[in-house]
Structure 1
Amino acid sequence: MAMPEQFGARWPPSSCFCIVVLLVLLTDQVLRGAEGMSVGINYGQIADDLPSPRRVSWLLRSMQVSKVKLYDADPYVLSAFLKTDVEFVVGIGNENVSAMVDPAAAQAWIQQHVQPYLPSTRITCITVGNEVFKGNDTALKANLLPAMQSVYQALAALGLQGRVNVTTAHSLDIMGSSYPPSAGAFRPDVVPYMQPILGFLSMARSPFLINCYPYFAYKADPNSVPLEYVLFQPNPGVMDSNTKLNYDNMLYAQIDSVYAAIQALGHTDIDVKISETGWPSRGDPDEAGATPEYAGTYIGNLLQRIEMKQGTPLRPSVPIDVYVFALFNENLKPGPASERNYGLFYPDGRPVYNVGLRGYLPPMDESEGTRKAVPLFALVTIAWITLLLS
């Protein structure tokens, strides 16, 4: 019996052909969905309840996310995104930075963690270390630039120079002053390291990555920091007395203060990108503002600014480049409760709050004794046939 008859009606061949065409077009749209959004997502994995990378691949593409930042170079993740056009930033952890000073070690790392996936997986940037100047490890700080240089030279030796950038991500506490934005300056103890790092970034044409969290400022002094200012809500803004530029949100002020600090050290040719920003949906009793409502407001308004391709007051023609932190709540992260509640989604795929990001996490198929995602094409096919034949 033909399939249409099972649903109580016989469909003519032309209708069946139309169904097939619709299925092909729809599936192609899903598979190419990553071309839609310009926002990036941090995909952290400090948890024991996260879905498989294969399922996460479908989730992110159904959300039309085109950029993903990892804190390592997880082979399971990179393999799950083969031929998807999703752009990746991969990371070398702080524990491995000093080893990368050795050119042979740097080349071996790239040959193992980057080269095998190119060009099928779009790896476009390597971050060497994360928030190195936040800690007190003087050896790590001293080895950061030599490690970056070694990785860069290894990429060149392997013919990957220009295809994969090399940089590092900084915490905002590298700033000694940030108000007004035009007076932004790095901490005096950071400057001796930062000057040559900026020279390297300029030479390599790599971006300056900064992790910015207006939430931290609000949490530290909720009575003095206007909530509207940190949440991108309507407010009079803050005027920079030197430039006369008006800032209606703290994130843009933080970005421009970093630009000012970089310019103070003689560079105007380095782009600043936000490698992390987010807002927790839950926290400890002493963590003011950590609620789903405020998290949704912050992320939702930020996404609107990104889609508007808006720039900062200092660089209005340069759209902000942002990686939201994070994809999932991570239940094994240490520290206060907020650290485990920055996710856009719960591990089961449910959104923590609604900001219009509609994603689909495929269910698990255990019929063959192995836990794997049901192919999205099959699910789309079932849904469309049910719809068209009902």
Structure 2
Amino acid sequence: MAVLGCIALILCVLANFDNYAGRVGALDIGVCYGTLGSDLPAPADVVNIYKQHGIAKMRLFNPNPAVLDVLKGSGIGVTIGIANEDLENLATGQAAVETWFNNNIAHYVNDVTINYIAVGNEADRSGGLKNIFTVMPLLNNVVRDKGIKVTTVLSSSVLASSYPPSSGAFTLEAYSTMAGILAFLASTDSPLMINVYPYFAYKSDPGNVRLDYAQFTATETVVQDGEYSYVNLFDAIVDAFIAAMDKAGGANNIRVVVSESGWPSDGSGSITTPELAATYNKNLLNHILKKGGTPRRPGSNIEGFIFAMFNENQKPAGEEQHFGLFYPTMQPVYDVFS
């Protein structure tokens, strides 16, 4: 009986492992893990939540050693950011970049699945973009034999125009540097990361931006842009970036990764409720996992990250503190993954 009981226990463990492995494969999506909170759980507990819900990818905004230590052997794919304030020093030359890498990343390369290092986050001025353009090839010299891709993260502030999506174009200030950044990404087969927030578009112009269009719940074309039909604002924003990339000479062979997208559950009145946040993020999850692409890139696999894992009480007061899928107690704000 003892032997049979042991075998049954082993089979149960293996079944649970297979179930987890299957869920990781099914939920090929990431969640951003920010740490601007005074009451957040320990990193080991956070990694367990990722595993429990089969979340395959994590985005970190800096190379946090406490988090990277517990990610060892987890199999979770990680994107690590370089803070904007570090770029000026790193742009001084190869030695500075190698020192940064050795101090922050080298220790984890063999044990943590590092997919991307993002040089800067939402830099929209020429100085910041020029530093990014300088640092990217220097960092690539260090990581190109380690299976890590070098990228950067843009917000829609670099777009001079985004409506209709085919009019997407970079600002004059950003255009020339973006052309160089895109050429680098193309030469290294690396993606461009973009932050996509239908919520902010809806909040800024609710008279002209329909809520169902922003929430993926429209059932018919809302925006017709030449040959392209848009049922949701998420695809329209992504395609505005792709149109801008095309005008700068870099759209054809550069993937895009949506590095942030989400909807707050509180902090700005009736447009920020748990119900609206749940609707948006469930639909975002399904939209990414469906791998249907966008009207300009049908059938393409666009990776995506939900923002964010937790409500963070050290962010600016208001909606910024309420983008989390979970409370710091690790209880869900609303259910997304079932």
**What are the within-5 Å matches in structure 2 for residues 206-225 of structure 1?**
206-225=190-209
Choose the corresponding residue for 1:125, options 116, 124, 140: 116
- Taking the aligned partners of 1:241 and 1:282, their CA distance within structure 2 comes to 33
CA distance in 2 between counterparts of 1:322 and 1:30 reads 23
Deviations 1:273-309 (A, max 9, x none): 1110000000134xx5111111000001111222322
Where structure 2 has 5 or more consecutive residues not aligned to the other structure, the ranges are none
Deviations 1:115-148 (A, max 9, x none): 2112221011101110111xx5x54333221111
Which of 28, 50, 56 lines up with 2:17 in the alignment? 28
Structure 2 CA distance for aligned equivalents of residues 79 and 36 of structure 1: 26
CA contact 2:165–2:225 (8 Å) conserved in 1? no
Q: Secondary structure in 1 aligned to 2:178?
A: helix
Whether 2:71 is the aligned partner of 1:81: answer yes
Once structures 1 and 2 are overlaid, which stretch shifts more, 140-149 or 91-100? 140-149
Q: 1:350 to 1:233 in 2, by over 3 A?
A: same
Are 2:322 and 1:341 aligned? yes
Q: Deviations over 1:98-130 (max 9, x none)?
A: 111221111122222222112221011101110
1:100·1:151 contact (CA, 8 Å) conserved in 2? Answer: no
Residue aligned with 1:38, SS: coil
Do 1:218 and 1:225's aligned partners in 2 also have CA atoms closer than 8 Å? yes
* 1:155 and 2:149 matched: no
Q: CA deviation at 1:16?
A: 1.2
Quickly say closer, same or farther: Cα 1:95–1:215, change in 2 above 3 A: same
Normalised to the residue count of structure 2, the TM-score between the two structures is 0.94
Structure 1: give runs of 5+ residues left out of the alignment: 1-11, 359-390
- CA 1:141 to 1:308, structure 2 compared with 1: closer, same or farther past 3 Å? closer
Question: Residue 351 of structure 1 aligns with which residue?
Answer: 332
CA contact (8 A) 1:34 1:85 kept: no
Q: CA deviation at 1:257?
A: 1.1
Q: Which stretch shows the higher mean deviation, 95-104 or 291-300?
A: 95-104
Specify the alignment match of 1:68 in structure 2: 58
Q: Which moved more, 1:110-119 or 1:49-58?
A: 110-119
Q: Which residue does the alignment assign to 1:141?
A: 129
Aligned partners of 2:222, 2:165: CA distance in 1, in Å?
10
**RMSD of equivalent CA atoms:** 1.7
* Aligned with residue 289 of structure 2, among 280, 292, 307: 307
**Which residue in 2 is equivalent to 1:4?**
none
Determine if contact 2:161/2:169 at 8 Å carries over to the other structure: yes
Task: State the 1:15 CA deviation.
Answer: 4.0
2:303 to 300, 317, 321: 321
**What letter corresponds to residue 328 of structure 1 in structure 2?**
F
1:27 Cα shift?
5.2
TM-superposed CA distance for 1:19, in Å, is 3.2
In 2: Cα distance, 1:140 partner to 1:262 partner: 18
Report how many aligned residue pairs link the two structures. Answer: 335
- In structure 2, the residue matched to 1:276 is 260
What residue number does 2:95 align with?
104
Does the C-alpha gap of structure 1 residues 181 and 284 become closer, same or farther in structure 2, counting only changes over 3 Å?
A: closer
Q: Is the 8 A contact 1:207 1:273 kept in 2?
A: yes
* 8 Å Cα contact 1:279-1:290 kept in structure 2: yes
Choose the corresponding residue for 2:221, options 237, 244, 248. Answer: 237
Deviation at 1:35, TM superposition (A): 3.4
Amino acid at match of 1:189: E
Cα deviations by residue, 1:148-197 (Å, 9 ceiling, x for unpaired): 121112224xx43xx11111101111111112212211112211221111
1: distance between equivalents of 2:141 and 2:97? 9
Q: Say whether residues 1:248 and 2:220 are aligned partners.
A: no
Name which of 45, 50, 53 aligns with 1:55: 45
CA contact under 8 A between 1:218 and 1:289: conserved in structure 2?
no
What is the letter of the counterpart of residue 65 of structure 2? P
User: Identical aligned pairs, as a percentage?
Assistant: 36
**Higher-Rg member (1/2):** 1
Displacement after TM superposition at 1:240 (Å):
3.2
Equivalent of residue 41 in structure 1, options 31, 34, 50: 31
Residues 94 and 138, structure 2, Cα contact 8 Å, conserved in 1: yes
CA drift of 1:239 comes to 3.8
Q: Which residue of structure 2 aligns with residue 6 of structure 1?
A: none
